[in-house]
Amino acid sequence: MELWNRAIEEIEQRVADGASGSGDGVVDVGSLARTTLTSEHHFRRLFTVLAGMPVSEYIRRRRLTVAAADVVAGREALQDIAIRFGYDSADAFSRAFRAVHGLSPSQARASGADLRSQAPLRITLRVEGAEPMTYRLVEQEAFTLVGRRRRMAIVARGTNPEIEQFRQELGLEVLRDISARSTREPARLLSVSTDFVEGREDGASIEFWFAAAVDGAPEEVDAGEHETRAVPASTWLVLSSSGPSVEEVQQLWPRAYGEWFPANPYQPVDGPELIAPVLDDAGGVEHYELWLSVEPRSS
């Protein structure tokens, strides 16, 4: 994780340069990616998973944390502070300040105002317990996703209300029909995330599917009224959640990117990310599996 912490230090230096007026304070995410020896796309993707927030949100929080001291001091015009911290106007700065601190700059200057501080991140590879991580690598031929899709906003943590609304609008009969078309692993009704907007930022869009994995190419599949998407042959990393709750499922991505990828000679491949249910003997969902397409890491 040393290279990632160098990237964090680079963010800190850029923010400090802007605050002191010795630089423009602009953070080049492409430069951060080069520091970590990844593409910008993968840097944004991994940062969100590891930090629990997009890199743009982290940079904004750090800027507004540092800026709060100057705002509270009240020695400069708000417009001057805004420009030093990379905002075009006092209004834009005030909106960002309120989003981070929950109050306006003028309110922050009142004695005893509550402000919020974002500490600099320190990314570590943490080992918990003596048991190794259990995973599977599954070789899969090309297959087709059959189901329904909708473009919706990303929710980084917690239940996504748009997914729940989509589920309700489709109804039980449609979802059962999709699930019944499953002919291969991963089986049954899948939750599929794909075509992420660059950076996976909270509120940006994603294409979400309720789908089944079906043998054959799209033109060979009887999809009925559903849509199809081809998925190429690949090696898949499969990790299991500790239980069926949303929170337990969401922990699969930090485990994959924070523990598995750093410890194994593989890298993620852009493509659909699948969540598949695993049933217990009574037919209830015992836990879920995350399926990620991977390839050997280049030396």
262-292 confidence digits (pLDDT tens): 777 788 888 899 999 998 888 888 899 999 9
Percent of the chain scoring above 90 in pLDDT: 34
Q: Provide the CATH topology of domain 2-108.
A: Arc Repressor Mutant, subunit A (1.10.10)
CB contact at 8 A, 190 and 278: no
Percent of the chain scoring above 70 in pLDDT: 92
**What is the pLDDT at residue 191?**
95
Question: 14-26 burial, b for 16+ CB within 10 Å, e for fewer?
Answer: bbebbbeeeeebe
Indicate whether 181 pLDDT > 80: yes
* Residue spans per domain, the chain: 2-108, 136-296
d(C-alpha 73, C-alpha 253), whole Å = 41
Indicate whether 147 pLDDT > 70: yes
- Residue 130's pLDDT band, with cuts at 50, 70 and 90, is very low
Indicate whether 212 pLDDT > 90: yes
Q: CB-hemisphere CA count at 13 Å for 276?
A: 23
d(C-alpha 145, C-alpha 143), whole Å = 7
Q: Would you state the structure tokens that stand for residue 175, as one six-digit string?
A: 């979802």
Architecture of domain 136-296: Alpha-Beta Barrel (3.20)
Instruction: Choose between 41 and 221: higher pLDDT.
Output: 221
CB contact at 8 A, 87 and 24: no
Question: 50-61 burial, b for 16+ CB within 10 Å, e for fewer?
Answer: bbebbbbbbbbb
CB contact at 8 A, 218 and 142: no
Indicate whether 17 pLDDT > 90: no
d(C-alpha 81, C-alpha 86), whole Å = 9
Q: Which pTM does this prediction carry?
A: 0.67
d(C-alpha 148, C-alpha 45), whole Å = 25
Diameter of the chain by CA atoms? Answer: 70
Sole residue written with tokens 């907007």: 197
Pairing between β-strand 190-194 and β-strand 205-215 as defined by DSSP bridges: antiparallel
What is the number of H-type helices and E-type strands within the chain? 11, 9
Quote the DSSP letter at residue 68: H
The predicted-structure confidence for 92-112, as pLDDT tens digits, reads as follows 989 998 988 988 888 888 766
d(C-alpha 126, C-alpha 258), whole Å = 9
Indicate whether 129 pLDDT > 50: no
Indicate whether 193 pLDDT > 50: yes
